[in-house]
Structure 1
Amino acid sequence: MTKITLLDGGMGQELIRRSGEAPTPLWSTQVMIDHPGMVAAVHADYRAAGATVHTTNTYAIHRDRLEGTGLEDRFADLTAAASTEAQGSGRIAGSIGPLIASYRPDIHPAHDIAVPAYAEVAALIAPRVDLFLCETVASVAHARAVLAATLPLGKPVWLSVTLDDEDGSRLRSGEPVADVLEAAQGASALLANCSAPEAMAAAMAAFAKGNLPFGAYANGFTQITKDFLKSKPTVDALSARRDLGPDAYAHFALGWIDQGPPSSVAAARSAPPISRGWRSNC
């Protein structure tokens, strides 16, 4: 029997919905500043919905993302607050999102710049998490950098890649997903996220050729296009798919589970009663 691990659901969009405020480029980080305790409430609801892995709201808390916001000196405080609000039953996954921007392997920093930047975040959240969840990894170089930053801390590292929405056998960089298998040496699991659910099956097929547990958690939005990425987008720039309710998403997730061998961990995401399809700040 396949062992299934149920992740929590989207944080960023749910925070915007609950706050009732217009989103900003800081997304869920800004909501956390303006509404202390709201992140903890979302985590509590995901626990009630059956999630057993709870992801810290640290996806976008990087020094480079805070530049020019007036919040540069709150980097450590925000990281600590997000880690604290995630505490409770189940495993705590420390989210580490991409530097600079999501879906943009073309502007990801060079290895010697990226590794210390990721390592700083990892060291700050390490005392309060059970594992690291490196999310929306868009290239092999990105994978190598974030693994070099996190593996030395001795906690399990789950590496989650983002796919070409039209060809799930490729990363956003255009590189084959299969190339990640070699780069992921030392990781404890391989996942795919921040991608269309239709793209996931091809990635699962590639993951199945390796020896790591694997899984997926998909976007609930229309495809991420190159035009969408030209500026710093906010949640209101995204269009939710009307054909992807809980039942349709569950159908996709069951397909991903079927692709896994008995030793796999199939990572889905809890849907009801929370809004679907968006993790942190992809």
Structure 2
Amino acid sequence: MTAITLLDGGMGQELIQRSGQPASPLWSTQVVIDRPGLVAEVHRDYADAGATVATTNTYAIHRDRLRGGAGNHYAADGATIPDMQDQFNALHHAALAEADAVRDRCRLAGSIGPLGASYRADLHPDLDTAIPLYAEVAGLLAPRVDLLIFETIASLDAARACLTAGRQTDKPVWLAFTVDDEDGTRLRSGEPLAEAARIASEADAALANCSAPEAMPAALGALSGSGVPLGAYANAFTMITKAFLDGGSTAASLQARRDMSPAIYAEHAMTWIDAGATIVGGCCETGPAHIAEIARRLRAAGHEIT
């Protein structure tokens, strides 16, 4: 049948569940500090489930998140974030060390999340500001990973910045776009995903991520014009509404769907393959059980997991 690359699932929400700690402004980064070894445990569980790519726990390690002060966008309810910019390099290296636990079984994908905030195109900096910030992270990750994956890209300018930064390294660059939960042909910014596909034509893969599973077939259709390998990995959040995107809410306020069991999620994943995806996996609120069920369904359908 088809050779399918099986990504892992969500990291941040999985870490919150396993640590028993509420979401913090530093999100999954805090776990690297407080619970060394827990990230490696999650990586091993995903590899055991059948994932062939391990995504590093570096999504949220950006200088804007580590910048201290109550004015930081990530500080909810007037809380003050301690300034941790001096740990920027150390946190990346710690996350990479955790991923080394599965290097013998998986390719490592260096995760680079969005500047500003997830889903919020309005908070993303301009190109001249964004490119060197993304390039700094890419330069730290590239020597120790097999590819770079820029995740949850919400706008065309963000895509341009990510691609430009990634191409400053010698590693393959995957661009993963977050789309409107109700209209998978549009980015969270409202811009056409087909325009993003033109940018992604210069990348090594084009994916849709951290959006509703139901939006992925339309997203894959829009991305097909890129001419590069396609992929999808959805979240299992309740809908990310327009009110959420208008501000005043953080990821901590999102809730898990109750109708997204491993079996149901895997059924969605199989429809993405029917729509042309050769890279599939999970995002927020999916776990090892979801990846294991996708692996089972792929094998049952005669696909090769690579």
Aligned residue type for 1:107: L
Q: 1:70 to 1:232 in 2, by over 3 A?
A: farther
Deviates more, 1:81-90 or 1:195-204: 81-90
TM-score by length of 1: 0.92
- Specify which structure has the bigger relative contact order, considering alpha-carbon pairs within 8 angstroms and separated by 6 or more residues: 1
Tell me, yes or no, if structure 1 residue 231 matches structure 2 residue 248.
yes
Contact 2:46 2:291 in 1 (8 A): no
Equivalences for residues 148-159 of structure 1 within 5 A: 148-159=164-175
Separation (CA, whole Å) in 2 of partners of 1:114 and 1:78:
20
Aligned to 1:66: 66
What is the deviation of 1:232?
5.4
Matched residue SS, 2:176: strand
Query: Which of 81, 98, 118 is residue 102 of structure 1 equivalent to?
Result: 118
Structure 2 counterpart of 1:70, one-letter code: D
Task: Report the secondary structure of 1:168's partner residue.
Answer: coil
CA shift, 1:47, in A, is: 0.6
Shift of 1:119: 0.3
Structure 1 residue 207 displacement after superposition: 2.0
Q: Which residue matches 2:150?
A: 134
Equivalent position to 1:85, from 93, 98, 107? 98
- State the TM-score, normalized to the length of structure 2: 0.85
Question: Alpha-carbon deviation of 1:25?
Answer: 1.3
Name the aligned partner's letter for residue 57 of structure 1.
N
Residue 17 to residue 24, structure 1, CA distance change in 2 (3 Å)? same
Structure 1 ranges of 4+ moved more than 4 A: none
**Which amino acid counterpart does residue 182 of structure 2 have in structure 1?**
E
C-alpha displacement of 1:271: 4.3
Deviations 1:99-122 (A, max 9, x none): 020111112101000000000000
Q: Helix, strand or coil for the counterpart of 1:65?
A: helix
> Structure 1 residue 46: deviation in Å?
0.5
Change (3 A) 1:102 1:232: same
Change beyond 3 A, Cα 1:234–1:169 = closer
What per-residue deviation string (whole Å, max 9, x for no partner) do you get for residues 119-156 of structure 1? 00000111110000000001111000011001121110
Query: What SS class does the counterpart of residue 149 from structure 2 fall into?
Result: strand
Compute the displacement of 1:275 (Å): 9.5
Compared CA separation, residues 216 and 184, structure 1 to 2 (3 A): same
1:279 match: none
> In the aligned structure 2, how far is the partner of 1:225 from the partner of 1:22?
22
Count, aligned residues: 272
CA distance in 2, matches of 1:234, 1:190: 24
Give 1:272 shift: 3.6
Q: Which structure 2 residues correspond to residues 1-282 of structure 1 after superposition, within 5 A?
A: 1-68=1-68, 69-87=82-100, 88=103, 89-229=105-245, 230-231=247-248, 233-235=250-252, 237-260=253-276, 265-269=278-282, 271-273=287-289
Structure 1: gaps spanning 5 or more residues: 277-282
Which residues of structure 2 form unaligned runs of 5+?
Answer: 69-81, 293-306
Contact 2:201–2:226 at 8 Å: present in 1 too? no
Identical-pair percentage = 59
Deviations 1:254-278 (A, max 9, x none): 0000111xxx6232238443799xx
For residue 227 of structure 1, report the CA deviation from its aligned partner. 3.2
Deviations 1:39-87 (A, max 9, x none): 0110011010000000000001000111113212111100111111112
- Bigger helix share: 2
Helix, strand or coil at the partner of 1:94: strand
